Structure 1
Amino acid sequence: MTAAAPIPRHYGLDWLRIGAFAILILYHIGMVFVPWGFHVQLARLPWVAVPMLASNPWRLMLLFVVSGYATRALAVRHPSILSFVRGRSARLLVPLAFGVAILVPPQIWAELVGKYGYPGSYWTFWLHDWLSFGAIGGVVPTPAWNHLWFVGYLWVYTMAIAGVLVIGGRWGRRAQGAFDRVFGGWGGAVLPVVWLLLVDIRLFPGQTDTHGLIDDWLAHAIYFPALLFGFAMAGSERVLDSFRRGWAVAGAIALASYAVAAGLEWRWPGLAGAPNGLGTLFAGARAVQGWMAVVALIGIAERFWNRDHPWRRTLTEAVFPFYLIHQTIIILVALWLWRMGLPLALDTALLFAATVAGCWAFYLVGRRVRWLRPLIGLRPGDGRRGTI
C-alpha cells in the first residue's frame, strides 16, 4: 500500500455522492406517504410508489460503488493497513455508536407511539425499554440501528477489504489487470447486470433486505460486489473511460427499464393480482435499471462534473452528518404532524422544510463544537474552516 500510486480526487464522484444522499433524504421523506410500511406515516398513497421506483433500484448501490472508490483513495494515503483500519473504524464506528445511542431511539419511540399507542414518555422509553434487547409489545425490537445499517455494513465491508489487502496484497496488480480486461468496455455494463438478474430472479426471488447483517444475504450479494467494483474502478482508467463514453446509452436503457417497472406498478400496485410472470419481469426491469443508472451517472460525473466549486467542499463534508440525523427529524416531525391533523399538502411542505432546516442546523452546530465533530462523522478540529 505504501508503494501504491495516489488516487486523484474525483470531483465528479463527490458531486454524485452529494446528489445520491440528497435523493436518499427525499426518498425517506417519501416513505411517510408510501403504501407500504414505515415508522410513522401521514398517508398511504399508492401512486407515490411510482416516483419512488425511479431511484429505488440504484441509489444505495451507487453509494456503495462511490464508497468503494473513496475507500481505495483513503487506503493508499495510509502508511500501513493497520493505520487504515484504525482510521476507518474511528470515522465509522464512533458515529454509528453515537447514532444508535442518541439518534435512533427517538425514531423507535415515535413508531411505538404512533402505531401502537405506547403510553410512556421518551425518557421512560430510553431509560427502561431501549436496551431491553427484546421486542417491545412483541412488535418493535430494541436496540436497533434503523437507517444507520449503511454505516455498519460499510465498516464490515471495509474490514473485509483490509483483510484481503493483508492476505493478497502482492497480487494486487494482477487482480487490477484482470478487472480492467473483464470490466473494461462492454463488460463493466453487462456483467454486473447479469449478476443482478441472477441475484434477484434465481438466488433470492421475491426477497427484500433485512438490514440485520448476519441474515441479509440478498443485500450482501448486491452491495459488497458494488463496493469491490468501486474499489477496483478507482485504479481503472479504462472502466471510467468506458462509462464516460457510454453514459447516454446506459441512461436510455435505465429509463426504458424504469418505464417497464413503473408501468407494472401503476397497473398492479404492489403487483397484487398481476398475471403470472410479471413479477419476474418487474424484478428483471429493476435489476437492469439499477446498474444502467449507476453506469450512466458515473459516466456523467466523469465527463461533465469532474470539476471543483466553492460549495463542493462544504457539501462533501455535510452529507454524512445530514445522513446521520435526517431520518430522526423526518420521523419526529411526522409524528407531530400526525397529531396536528393538518391538510396533507401542508404536511408535505412542513416536513420537507423542517428536514432541510434541521439537517443544516445539526451540521452547522456540530462542526463548530470540537467534541461533537467525531460523533457526527467529521475529522477532529475546531471547525472554524470546516476542513475535511
Structure 2
Amino acid sequence: MNKRQYYIDWIRTGLIFSVFFFHVGMVFNGWDWHIKNDVRLESLNPFMAMLHAWRMPLLFLVSGAGTRFALGFRSKRKYFAERSKRLLLPLVFGILVLVPVQVYIEKISSYSSLWDFYTHFFEGVYPKGNFSWHHLWFIVYLYFISIVFIPFISFFRSNYYQTVVETGLEKLSSMKGGSGLLFIPILLSQLLLRPYFPVETHAFYNDWAYLTLFFIYFLLGFALLGNSRVVENIKAQRRIWFLGGILAFAGWMMLSGASNLLAVNILREVTALLMSWLISLAILGYGKKYLNKDHRLRKALNEAIYPFYLIHQPVILVVGYWVLAISTGVLTKAILLIIWSLVICAILYIGIITRTRYLAGCFGLKR
C-alpha cells in the first residue's frame, strides 16, 4: 500500500481536534482539572468518559499506521534518528517552555509572576511539586513505544510475516466480524496488568497497563492499516463495527449505573475495552469509505496538527483563566474559550512558529 492513505490524515486531524474540545470540556465537567468553572456540568461526564475510552487508543493506532508508511525501507538507525528528532526535541522544548505556563496558571496565587514560578519549576514532581510533562505524556509514550518497536521491524520485514502472518490477517478480516477478534490480545493484556496498575496516571513509571494497551494499538495499526486487503475488509464491515460499538456503549452505560461490586466493575471495564476497539474499527471503516480523498486543506492541517497539539493546552489554560473570571453563563464562557483559544493557536502557529526557523524544529516541523 504505497499510495497515500488520506483518510488516516483526516482521522488523525479529527482526533487532535477532539483532544482540544475534550480539554475545553474539562474546564466545565464534574472532574477535577487544572482550572475549573464555578458551575460544573456533571452531565458531561458520561459522554467525555466514552470519548476518552477510544480517543487516545485510536490515536496510537493511526500513529502505528503512519509509522509503517513513513518507515519504508529506512534502516533502524535512520528510524531511531527520525523519531528522536521528531518527538524528543519537541518534548524537551515543551517541558521547558510550554508546561511551566500551565502549572503556573494552576498555582498562580502562590507566585508573584511566571518568572518567579519558573525559578521553582524543578522543585518536586507535580502535583505536590511543580515539574511535569502534563499533556505531553502522549509524546513521552509515543517515543518510548517507537523505540521499543525497533526490534519488531525485522520481524515485520521478514518473509514469514509477509507470507504467513499477513495472509492470516487477511483471512481473519474477511470473516464476518473477524477483525473484532483482535480485541482478545487487548483484553488479555488488561486482565493481566489492570489488577496491578488500575489507574491511568500518565506518569509512565506506574502506568504499565495503559502503556501496554497503547503499544498493542500501535502494533495493530502498523499491521492492519498497511495491508490494503485488510483495510478493504474493515471498510466492507463498517456497519458491523458501528452497531457493535453502539451496543457496547449501551452496555457500558447500563453497567456504569450499576453497583460497585468487583464483578460489575470488571465487566464494565471489559465492555469499555470492547467499545473502544469496535468504535475504532467503525471510524477506520467509515473513514476509508468517505474520507480517503485529498483536499487543498489536508496537507496544511496535517502539518499544523502536531504544533497545535503542543500549544493547545497552555493556550486553553491561559485563556480560560481570564474567561472564567467573567460573570456570564456556562455556554457563553465555553464559546469564548473555544473561539479565543483557536484564534490564539492560529496566530502562534502562522505568525510565529512557521516563520521562525529553529522554533519550527522545536515544534516538530521541517525547518
The normalised TM-score by structure 1 is 0.86
- Per-residue deviation, residues 9-31 of structure 1 (Å, max 9, x unmatched): 10011111111111111111111
Q: Does 1:81 align with 2:81?
A: no
- Per-residue deviation, residues 313-336 of structure 1 (Å, max 9, x unmatched): 111111111100111111122222
Q: Using the alignment, how far apart are the partners of 1:231 and 1:92 within structure 2? A: 18
Contact conserved, 1:321 with 1:359, CA < 8 A, in 2? no
Point out the structure with the larger helix share.
Answer: 2
Instruction: Say which of 41, 44, 60 aligns to 1:64.
Output: 60
Instruction: Say which of 177, 185, 189 aligns to 1:195.
Output: 185
Q: Using the alignment, how far apart are the partners of 1:97 and 1:161 within structure 2? A: 21
* Counterpart position of 2:140: 152
Partner AA of 1:190 in structure 2? G
Question: Aligned runs of 1:312-327 on 2, under 5 Å?
Answer: 312-327=298-313
Unpaired segments of 5 or more residues in structure 1? 1-5, 381-388
Q: Does 1:301 align with 2:287?
A: yes
* Counterpart position of 1:386: none
Partner AA of 1:249 in structure 2? I
Q: Does 1:172 align with 2:174?
A: no
Cα offset, 1:180, TM superposition: 4.0
Q: Does 1:181 align with 2:168?
A: yes
- Per-residue deviation, residues 276-325 of structure 1 (Å, max 9, x unmatched): 64323321221111000111111112222111111111111111111001
* Counterpart position of 1:8: 3
Distance 1:141 1:184, change over 3 A: farther
- Per-residue deviation, residues 69-125 of structure 1 (Å, max 9, x unmatched): 1111111153x2212211221111111111101111111111223xxx424321100
Distance 1:172 1:141, change over 3 A: farther
Distance 1:376 1:240, change over 3 A: same
Q: Does 1:121 align with 2:113?
A: yes
Question: Aligned runs of 1:226-375 on 2, under 5 Å?
Answer: 226-265=217-256, 268=257, 274=260, 277-365=263-351, 366-375=353-362
* Counterpart position of 1:216: 207
Q: Using the alignment, how far apart are the partners of 1:41 and 1:345 within structure 2? A: 14
Contact conserved, 1:250 with 1:292, CA < 8 A, in 2? yes
Contact conserved, 1:73 with 1:234, CA < 8 A, in 2? no
Secondary structure class of the residue paired with 1:55? helix
Cα offset, 1:156, TM superposition: 1.3
Contact conserved, 1:180 with 1:236, CA < 8 A, in 2? no
Contact conserved, 1:180 with 1:239, CA < 8 A, in 2? no
Q: Using the alignment, how far apart are the partners of 2:156 and 2:253 within structure 1? A: 47
Secondary structure class of the residue paired with 1:104? helix
Q: Using the alignment, how far apart are the partners of 1:60 and 1:346 within structure 2? A: 28
Q: Using the alignment, how far apart are the partners of 2:185 and 2:232 within structure 1? A: 22
Counting aligned pairs with the same residue, the percent is 29
Q: Using the alignment, how far apart are the partners of 2:156 and 2:274 within structure 1? A: 35
